[in-house]
Amino acid sequence: MKTLRVKDVDRCIGCYSCMLACARHVFRSHSIVKTAILVRTRGGLQSKWGIEICRGCTEPACAQACPTGALTPRPGGGVIFKKAKCSRCAACVDACIARVIRLDDESYPIICIQCGSCARFCPQEVLAMEEQKNV
């Protein structure tokens, strides 16, 4: 299975289309607050962009840290999130080295499902879905 990759961050124009696509398709929200991908400047708009994505770990630390089994490894990389099992302890937030997991207004983690909506709506081909090597 494919996972998300940042192919060329230097092409990013900061349009946020990826974040809006994630909010729209995955979280059925209009807001970029509900998105599992984060596009940010590194210090004002004169700087370069940084893009935080779920790195699709094959041995995901967030799942290992999850005490309730709400997060489990996804075949091919990344995790599967079962909201019903989540105790909202935020252990996954602390475990993620990519610092991409945040909590929503109800304190549930916002988790990437590796669907590729963000890549499909990137006008600059900054993002792509690719098979993980060495899996």
Partner 1 sequence: MFEGDFLRVLNIDLEHNTFSVRERPDLKPYLGGVGIATKLMLENAAWDEDPLSPTQPIIFAIGPLSGIFPLATKVAAVFRSPLTGEWGESYAGMRAALSLRFAGYDAVVIKGRAPKPTYLRIDREGVFFRDARGLWGLDTEETGRLLREWEPGRGHRSTWRIGPAGENGVAFAGVNVDTFRHFGRLGLGAVFGSKNLKAIVVDGTKSYPIQDPKAYNAAYEKIYTEAVKTPRMAKYHQIGTAENILRLNRSGSLPTLNLQASRFTAAEAVSGETFGAQSLTRILSCTGCPVGCIHVGIYRRPHPEGYGYISTTLAYDYEPIYALGPLLGLDTVDKVYALLDTVEATGLDVISTGVVLAWATEALTQGLITESETLLPLQFGDETGYIRAAEYLAAPPNEFYRELGRGLAQATARYGGTDFALTLGGHEMAGYHTGYAFLLGHSVGARHSHLCNAGYSFDQKHGAAFEDAALVEYLIEEEEWRNVLNSLVICLFARGIYTPEATATALGAVGVAVTPEDLKRVGREIFRLKWEVKRRLGFSLENLRVPRRYFETPSGSGPLDPERYQQLLALYRQRLSEKLGMAL
Considering the complex, state which of residue 39 and residue 70 has its C-beta at the smaller distance from partner 1.
39
Considering the complex, state which of residue 39 and residue 71 has its C-beta at the smaller distance from partner 1.
39
Select from 22, 26, 34, 112 the one that contacts partner 1 (CB under 8 A): 34
CB of residue 67 to partner 1, shortest distance in Å: 27
| Intra-chain end-to-end CA distance of the chain, in Å | 10
Stretch of 1-9, 65-73, 92-100, 118-126 lying at the interface with partner 1 (CB under 8 A): 118-126
Phi, psi of 33 (to 5 degrees): -70, -30
Query: What DSSP character marks residue 72?
Result: E
Greatest extent of the chain over all pairs of C-alpha atoms, in Å: 43
Interface with partner 1 (CB under 8 A), residue total: 28
Q: Which residues of 55-89 are buried (b: 16+ CB within 10 A; e: fewer)?
A: bbbeebbbbebbeeebbebbeebbbebeeeebeee
| 38 in contact with partner 1 (CB under 8 A) | yes
Considering the complex, state which of residue 104 and residue 130 has its C-beta at the smaller distance from partner 1.
104
Residues 6+ apart with CB under 8 A from 29: 23
Considering the complex, state which of residue 91 and residue 100 has its C-beta at the smaller distance from partner 1.
100
Select from 26, 39, 86, 113 the one that contacts partner 1 (CB under 8 A): 39
